[in-house]
Amino acid sequence: MSTLVSPTAGKVVIDGIDIKEDPTGIRKKIGVISHETYLYHELTAAENLRFFGKMYDTPHLETRIDELIKQVGLNYRKNDRVRTFSRGMKQRLSIARALIHDPPILFLDEPYTGLDQHASATFDRILGGMNAHDKTRVLISHDIERGISMCDRAIILAGGYIAHEMTESEISDLLQCRAIYEKHVEERT
């Protein structure tokens, strides 16, 4: 779906665009956060964001760079080369890279890989601060609890097929049951 590889079979249409027919058109609408950062290690944090921002013709690019660098907590390292960053810092910068053009669709492929608790909380805050009605987020995660807590529709795949699907009300019921269970366990200890 992210156009990083071509489908081996079938057809992928996102927002009315066939990704095989117009991969450039769909790339303008998506942001990808993955365990792979897709950053240039010899560039600084700001230079990386500037490069990707120019690819997308991001308006008010310098303001957007400053905004995102601050959101991901890297303003003190803005002018440092990415090769000097820890794994978690690179992952936070890759979040900014994916958001530089304010895409309406986000693909999140194990986005918490390499993030410590503080960086995970920062990422949760960034995602939570986005208007969910303006963004479509597709999350791939082995952390089912975290994944379900972040969505309004869940699909669990097994062997490439849908094993289970949950609606917003089913997710809400599940989360309420989980909270009741945790409260019960806490009271007993």
Average pLDDT (113-131) is 78
Distance from CA of residue 148 to its chain's centroid?
15
Average pLDDT (80-105) is 93
Parallel/antiparallel/unpaired status of strands 105-109 and 136-140: parallel
User: CA 50, CA 72: separation in Å to the nearest integer?
Assistant: 16
CATH of 33-151, one of 3.40.50.300, 3.30.420.40, 3.40.30.10, 3.40.190.10: 3.40.50.300
- Domain ranges in the chain? 33-151
Residues 8/20, Cβ–Cβ less than 8 Å = no
Q: How far is CA 2 from CA 5, 24, 29, 98, 130, in A?
A: 8, 11, 10, 12, 20
Residues 107/138, Cβ–Cβ less than 8 Å = yes
pLDDT of residue 183: 77
pLDDT by residue (tens digit) across 28-74?
899 999 888 999 999 999 999 999 999 999 999 999 999 999 999 99
Where do the H-state alpha helices sit in 79-167?
87-99, 117-129, 144-149
Structure tokens at 176: 């309420």
Mean pLDDT check: name the lowest of 59-73, 75-89, 92-106, 174-188: 174-188
- Averaged pLDDT score across all residues of the chain: 86
Is residue 138 very low, low, confident or very high in pLDDT (cuts 50, 70, 90)? confident
pLDDT of residue 133: 62
pLDDT of residue 80: 98
Distance from CA of residue 146 to its chain's centroid?
13
CA angle 166-172-177, nearest 5°?
A: 105
Is residue 132 very low, low, confident or very high in pLDDT (cuts 50, 70, 90)? low
Percentage of the residues of the chain whose pLDDT score is greater than 70: 97
Residues in the chain, total: 189
pLDDT of residue 38: 93
pLDDT of residue 151: 77
